[in-house]
Amino acid sequence: MRLAVIGLGTMGAPMARHLLAAGHEVTVHNRTREREEPLAEAGAARAETPAAAAANAEAVLTCVSDTPDLEQIILGPDGVAEGLVSGGLVIDCSTVSPAATAEIAAKLRERGIGMVDAPVSGGSEGAEKGTLTIFCGGEQGDVERAGPILDAIGSKITHLGPSGAGQVAKAVNQVMIAGTYATVGEGIALAQAAGLPLEKLVEALSGGAAASWVLQNRSANMISNTYPLGFKVALHRKDLGIALDEAARAGVPMDVAALVATQEDGLVDSGFGDEDVSAVARIPKRTD
């Protein structure tokens, strides 16, 4: 297929590479244009604007940092909507507002363009390996058309409802991990203060109700008090903001997620925003 990929960050660049490797004809665009170069070397065409990238494409995959960025590259001047033909498809892998997603999808539909929200989980490792978990929202036909494209970048693809449903699912994911990161961090800090043998403790805890991906994969960061990426605190905080907005709209109080968001604000203010989100363990350790 003729595809465009817009947004070549930590997640978007490996996605573009997987699409090239799967035999698609790929045009790339990124706001910071140098990021297009490695993809061009791998066989992609380059375009000066989102509209120009979309002009040659049957489907456009977007992967940007936040809701305003997405609105800009889709609906702004020289945006995707100006370039993409009627009958085309937008697949958005960004993590953005569910409500804004539904609005963008409605505006694209007026132009005959389909949209699938397809936010991902699995981090940079998952993007590199093409094994992302993908939460999809959109009309059944559009999600089916997106299928072969998503298969090239992910391994677990679930259609959860209409436009925005994928974003709600991603928000739920970010809420669920918030409390786990926070209290795994608190538990490790308590154990450390008490002088327990920490690796042995984690092994013992992993057999029971405290078992989690976070305990298994991120407690070592907390034990050594070093937080290499991973997934940035600042991005998780952004995602929690989306989730809290959505929850407020739905009348769902999420006091624990809100508290973790406040803690992450403190980490960002203290200069730890670029560390992995397991850095929430700094708070009970008082090392900020």
Helix axes 213-224, 198-205, angle to 10 degrees: 170
Beta bridge partners of 121: 133
Measured CA distances, 29 to 42, 81, 180, 194, 213 (Å)? 14, 15, 37, 52, 34
Among 61, 205, 261, 267, binds its own copies (CB under 8 A): 205
Nearer to its own copies, 16 or 171 (CB): 171
Q: C-beta of 99: minimal distance to its own copies in Å?
A: 10
Nearest to 162 by CA among 117, 107, 132: 117
Helix axes 98-110, 67-75, angle to 10 degrees: 10
Beta bridge partners of 154: 132
Q: C-beta of 226: minimal distance to its own copies in Å?
A: 19
Q: C-beta of 212: minimal distance to its own copies in Å?
A: 4
Q: C-beta of 264: minimal distance to its own copies in Å?
A: 12
Encoded amino acid at 279, one letter: A
CA–CA dist 211, 69 (Å, integer): 37
Q: Looking at 18-26, 74-82, 83-91, 159-167, which segment touches its own copies (CB under 8 A)?
A: 159-167
Q: Does 150 bind its own copies (CB under 8 A)?
A: no
Beta bridge partners of 62: 6, 92
Q: Does 204 bind its own copies (CB under 8 A)?
A: yes
Q: Does 127 bind its own copies (CB under 8 A)?
A: no
Catalytic residue selected from 170, 200, 232, 238: 170
Site for its own copies in 225-284 (CB under 8 A): 231, 243, 246-247, 250-257, 259-260, 263, 283-284
| 170 is known as an active-site residue | yes
Measured CA distances, 127 to 13, 16, 27, 135 (Å)? 9, 10, 19, 14
Among 52, 55, 210, 223, binds its own copies (CB under 8 A): 210
Q: Does 23 bind its own copies (CB under 8 A)?
A: no
Q: Does 186 bind its own copies (CB under 8 A)?
A: yes
Nearer to its own copies, 50 or 138 (CB): 138
Find out whether the peptide bond into 230 is cis, omega within 30 degrees of 0.
yes
Nearer to its own copies, 181 or 272 (CB): 181
Q: Which residues are catalytic?
A: 170
